[in-house]
Amino acid sequence: MQQNNSVTEFILLGLTQDPLRQKVVFLIFLIFYMGTVVGNLLIIVTIKFSQTLGSPMYFFLFFLSFADVCFSTSTAPRLLVDVLTSRKIISYNECLTQVFALHLFGCMEIFALIFMAVDRYVAICKPLHYATIMRRQVCIILIILAWIGSFIHSMAQIALAMRLPFCGSNVIDHYCCDLQPLLKLACMDTYVINLLFVSNSGALCSSSFLFLIFSYIVILHSLRNHSEEGKKKALQTCTSHIIVVILSFGPCAFMYTRPPTTLPMDKIVTIFYTIGIPFFNPLIYTLRNAEVKNAMKKLWSIKITSEVKG
C-alpha cells in the first residue's frame, strides 16, 4: 500500500535534540550495545564449544542469547547513527523492516523463555522422563516452530502497518519504528487496527507471561519434596529465569497491552526493553550460574594454554 501514501520517509525525533546530551546518549548506548554483543556472544561460544553445557537448558540459552543479539541489533545501531546526525531520516521500507526485525526477534525471545521454563518443569517435576521428553530432536523441532511462529507474528505486524495510509506529518516522536508510533500518524480511524495489534502483540505478551509465572509457581511448589541440595540448585537456576521473565515482560506489557496513546515514559521503557534487557540477560545467567562460569573459565584456560604452547 505504499503507493497510496504521500509519505515515503519518516523523521525520527530520537531521544534528545540537545548536542551535549546526544554525545552522552551515544557513549552510554555504545557501551550497552557492545556489552550486549560481547556478553551474549561469549555465552554462545561457551555453550557451543563446552562439553559440560550440552543439556537442553543450555541449548535454549544459546537460542535466547542469539535472539538477544539480533533483537538489540534491530534498534541500537540505528539509534547510535541517528544520535550523531542532525536529520534522522528513515525510509518507509526501512521502517517496515525495523518493525519486522523488532517483532521477529522479540517473539523469539519469548519462545526461548517458554522453552526454558518447560525444560525446568520436566527436569524438576518429571525427572525420570526428562531424557525421553527433552531429547535433542524435540528441542530442534521446538526451535524450528519458534522461528515459524515468530515469522508469522512479524508478518502480521507488517500486514497491519501496510494498511496504514500516511498523508500528513511524517515525524515519529520516537527513536525507532514500531506499529504503535505509526498508528498515531495514520490518516484514518485506527481503532480496528489497534484492536488487532493489541490482540496480536498484547495477547502474545500477556498469555506468555501468565504461562511462565504459572509454570514457575508449579515448579517451586514441587520443590518441597526435593532434598536441600536439590532445592538449592533448582532455586538458583529458576531464580535467574524468573528475574529475566519479570524484566522482559514488564516493559512488553506496558507497551503492547494499552490503547495507542503516547506517554512520556514510552521511549525509556522501549530502550530498557530493546537494549537494556539483552544487556542484562547474559549477566544474570552467568553471575548466577556456576556451570556457565566454570565452563567459561575452562575454555579460556585451554585457549591461553594453547597460545602459550604455540
Q: What is the pLDDT of residue 83?
A: 86
User: 36-91, pLDDT tens digit by residue?
Assistant: 999 999 999 989 888 888 889 899 999 999 999 999 999 999 999 888 887 889 99
Phi, psi of 106 (to 5 degrees): -65, -40
Whose cell is 524484566? That residue is: 247
C-beta separation of 267 from 175 below 8 A: yes
Percent of the chain with pLDDT over 90: 34
Domain ranges of the chain: 2-309
Amino acid, res. 1: M
- Fold topology of 2-309: Rhopdopsin 7-helix transmembrane proteins (1.20.1070)
User: What integer best gives the mean pLDDT of the chain?
Assistant: 85
- 1 versus 75: which is more confidently predicted? 75
Q: Which pTM value belongs to this model?
A: 0.88
